[in-house]
Structure 1
Amino acid sequence: MAREPLVIAHDYLTQRGGAERVVLALTRGFPGAPIQTTLYDPGGTYPELRGAEIRTTVLDRVGFLRRHHRFALPFLAAVVSRARIDADVVIASSSGWAHGFRTTGRKIVYCYSPARWLYQPGVYLGQHAALSTRLMLGVLGPWLRRWDRRQARTADAYIACSSVARDRVRAAYGIEAEVVYPPHSYGTDGEERRPAALGGEVDRLDGFDLCISRLLPYKNVDAVVGAFASLSHRLVVVGAGPEEARLRAMAPSNVVFLQHLSDAEMRWLYARCGAIVAASYEDFGLIPVEAASFGKPSVALRWGGFLDTIVEGVTGVLFDEPTPAAIADAVRRCRASSWDAEAIRAHARRFSEEAFLERIGAILERETSALPRRA
């Protein structure tokens, strides 16, 4: 097989989130570039990726791991270390694994954060994590941290998705990363479709707020759900994850759960919500940018990536701690405020896919002359 000019690498393509949307943007910016990943579940991630050439590792032969990628954690370092990408340039979209792929050419890492489960296990796992998970990370953690730092040093250039990610890269690896914000990719002029899963709830959703998140402990969706116990309007939660059963059990009657929605269904929700609510410890606050493209304000935690993407008083309201009381108060302040939808949309245009690809292209051209022609 001839050496590839450029390959996109990603941890695993088994879910739908901001990192996978970055991969989609890269495939549009560098059409024809194959994608190297560990696991690929076509039904679990974005359907647009089916048009790409996707190469996987031996782990992908195990269907259970494609559906439940967290169980692959003990094997990923060894498998990634053995995989070799024969390419002039590899763009590694990484939050813990893709930066470990070996390559014959240059490696440019686009980092969302050094692995949370290695460097912030308490925040990532939360207080409800299984004892077996804690024991496994206790045993594997020291070895995996050594592996992770060693692989980070194999990169020719590091790019961080936000200022907080840049700071974490510096702390974990001693590397100075350049900040390039990831793009939002919901076009407001695309098709809108009412989510079928809403069923009979749809007629009672006037004035609802929206929480879009993977259902993981550090996302603090439980605090958002708890806040709406003291609010009269509805909350629509879009996301899946291991916290789902617990969140459904604690949710008041004005909270609706949805998951695995299409882009058209997401546009329908963004266009009709009052605001989005986010209490997570985010490395980059992508959801507020997507909401802003529809002229909608955000209610978000004053932390991390949200400080990069929200202008307080212009595009949203910030609260200081992820507690139900603080969130409920911020939601009330948001609903009592007047918002300039056009000013919010103008802010979102700073985070366009075109701007992202232009910055990535400039970095690649600076790092190597082997850049494939852009479409």
Structure 2
Amino acid sequence: MPFKDLKVAIVADWLTNFAGAEKVILTLHHHFPDAPIYTTIYNSKKMPGFEEADIRTSFLQHWPFAKKKHQLFLKWMPLAVESFDLSEYDIVISSSHSCAKGIITKPETLHICYCHTPMRYAWDDCHNYIRNSNLPWLVKKMVPFMMQKIRLWDRLAADRVDHFIANSSFVAERIQKYYGRESEVINPPVDTENFHISEKPEEYFLAVGRLIPYKKFDLLVETFNQLGLPLKIVGTGPEEKKLRQIAKENIELLGHISNEELRKTYANCKAFLFPQIEDFGIVPIEAMASGRPVIALKKGGALDSIQEGVTGIFFEEQTPESLTEAIKKLEKTTFDPQKIRQHAQEFNSQRFLEKLDDFIQRKWQKNP
């Protein structure tokens, strides 16, 4: 497809911390190096890899505390994204889990939204978001009134998208429910080539992620306290102190470790644990790229990436009993590390870009 003959722009919600959504933006940037990136707020100190990118920010960029506390400015983000002038572009790709899809484009411009999730704190996770946030109690009382307006805007903004791409089947279902729109699933890119298979894996189980409530590290600690099996947890977060207090000697909380050490830790684990509901889930792919099987909750994005009995084992409920049953089942199952890694390659950056290019080409040909 002759992308060089078309003017392309990329739009991101915000670029203030490097995580899964920002990895997609970086992949798009490398694929479309001449495309400017529009975003509400940009913190260059937290975004490695974007040094040469043409970043174009909104008026929020210059507001006090915006780079460190972007969540406080959600009320103004609809106006911020609507302020972007995208009239010169043929194709605009928005990468959105919040407001980026609400950009305004010309009728002849093709707007494709890569949707990581409908805005969680406006829809299915609204009540949990308010309850579990660290916001002052007065702000918590005010948030529902603000979210009602955000919710109405978000639903209208979804109609501005010409075509949706969902990052998983789980997200596709929510796009249909909350926006009434069809979408095509293209799973996000994972750097599978950076991981390797160990010749002599060890006996410990592994979990990786930010230590926050919904990721259910407390379930892992409770279960492994009972089983007495070795468990290593990589990551930091507000739950760390509590987890250290309740964890027994068979459980190691490693905190933050280097990327090199993380790759070794993946490769040498007996199995990887993924007890939470995620929109997709990058870390199970990294574990599988290391040839290790995954024990995952049978919900959410894990259903797209894990093959029962081939690359891992599912458990049904977020309880110690259900997880223990899956661990016992894994102990009796033989896994082929090469087959597991081969499956993980289906989620690499090259496959992502091949699918994305095919999608854009099909939609551009039909664009009036």
Q: TM-score range by the shorter chain?
A: 0.7 to 0.9
Change (3 A) 1:161 1:91: same
Which residue of structure 2 lines up, in the alignment, with residue 121 of structure 1?
A: 125
Q: Deviations over 1:125-178 (max 9, x none)?
A: 285435456424311121111100111100111111111111110111111111
Q: Which amino acid aligns with 1:83?
A: F
Q: Confirm or deny that 1:138 pairs with 2:140.
A: no
Hey, what's the Cα distance between the residues in 1 that align with 2:259 and 2:323?
A: 27
Hey, what's the Cα distance between the residues in 1 that align with 2:245 and 2:131?
A: 17
Q: How far apart are 1:5 and its partner, in Å?
A: 1.2
Q: Deviations over 1:270-312 (max 9, x none)?
A: 2222222111111213322221111111111010211111111
Change (3 A) 1:335 1:236: same
Q: Which amino acid aligns with 1:59?
A: L
Q: Confirm or deny that 1:156 pairs with 2:153.
A: no
Query: Pairwise CA RMSD of aligned residues?
Result: 2.9
**Secondary structure in 1 aligned to 2:15?**
coil
Larger radius of gyration between Structure 1 and Structure 2 = 2
Question: Is the CA contact 1:125–1:218 (under 8 Å) kept in the aligned structure 2?
Answer: no
Q: Confirm or deny that 1:208 pairs with 2:209.
A: no
Q: Deviations over 1:322-349 (max 9, x none)?
A: 2234334433433453211111112112
Hey, what's the Cα distance between the residues in 1 that align with 2:66 and 2:29?
A: 25
**Secondary structure in 2 aligned to 1:12?**
coil
From 206, 230, 255, the counterpart of 1:258: 255
Hey, what's the Cα distance between the residues in 2 that align with 1:189 and 1:319?
A: 26
Question: Is the CA contact 1:298–1:317 (under 8 Å) kept in the aligned structure 2?
Answer: yes
Q: Confirm or deny that 1:109 pairs with 2:110.
A: no
Which residue of structure 2 lines up, in the alignment, with residue 41 of structure 1?
A: 43
Q: Which amino acid aligns with 1:258?
A: G
Which residue of structure 2 lines up, in the alignment, with residue 181 of structure 1?
A: 187
Q: Which amino acid aligns with 2:166?
A: A
Hey, what's the Cα distance between the residues in 2 that align with 1:320 and 1:128?
A: 24
Q: Which amino acid aligns with 1:358?
A: E
**Secondary structure in 1 aligned to 2:67?**
helix
**Secondary structure in 1 aligned to 2:118?**
coil
When structure 1 is superposed on structure 2, of 322-331 and 176-185 the one drifting more is: 322-331
Q: Confirm or deny that 1:343 pairs with 2:346.
A: no
Hey, what's the Cα distance between the residues in 1 that align with 2:346 and 2:43?
A: 32
Q: How far apart are 1:262 and its partner, in Å?
A: 5.1
Question: Is the CA contact 1:13–1:39 (under 8 Å) kept in the aligned structure 2?
Answer: yes
From 22, 25, 28, the counterpart of 2:24: 22
Structure 2 unpaired stretches of 5+: none
Question: Is the CA contact 2:155–2:178 (under 8 Å) kept in the aligned structure 1?
Answer: yes
Q: Deviations over 1:163-203 (max 9, x none)?
A: 1111110111111111112121132468x9xxxxxxxxxxx
- Identical columns (%): 35
Change (3 A) 1:19 1:75: same
Hey, what's the Cα distance between the residues in 2 that align with 1:59 and 1:225?
A: 41
From 289, 293, 305, the counterpart of 2:289: 293
TM superposition score normalised by structure 2: 0.85
Hey, what's the Cα distance between the residues in 2 that align with 1:20 and 1:70?
A: 16
Question: Is the CA contact 2:36–2:56 (under 8 Å) kept in the aligned structure 1?
Answer: yes
Q: Which amino acid aligns with 2:8?
A: L
Change (3 A) 1:5 1:235: farther
Q: How far apart are 1:115 and its partner, in Å?
A: 1.1
Which residue of structure 1 lines up, in the alignment, with residue 54 of structure 2?
A: 53
Q: How far apart are 1:241 and its partner, in Å?
A: 4.5
Hey, what's the Cα distance between the residues in 1 that align with 2:195 and 2:234?
A: 21
Q: Which amino acid aligns with 2:309?
A: G
Question: Is the CA contact 1:7–1:36 (under 8 Å) kept in the aligned structure 2?
Answer: yes
